[in-house]
Amino acid sequence: MLLNNLLNKYDVILASQSPRRSQLLQAMGINFRVSANPNIDESYNSTLHPAEIACRIAQKKANDNTIMFHPNSLIIAADTIVCVNDTIYGKPKNYHEAFNTLSALSGKEHTVITGICIKTAKNLILDSETSYVYFNQLSNDDIAYYINNYKPFDKAGAYGIQEWIGYTSIAKINGCFYNIMGLPTALLYKQLNLISRMENG
CB-based contacts of 197, cutoff 8 Å, min separation 6: none
Angle at which helices 95-105 and 140-150 pack, to 10 degrees?
130
CA dihedral in degrees (175, 93, 135, 85; nearest 10)?
Answer: -70
Q: How far apart are CA 11 and CA 146, in angstroms?
A: 38
Query: Catalytic one among 11, 79, 86, 154?
Result: 79
Q: How far apart are CA 145 and CA 129, in angstroms?
A: 30
Decide if 79 is catalytic: yes
Q: Catalytic amino acids?
A: 79
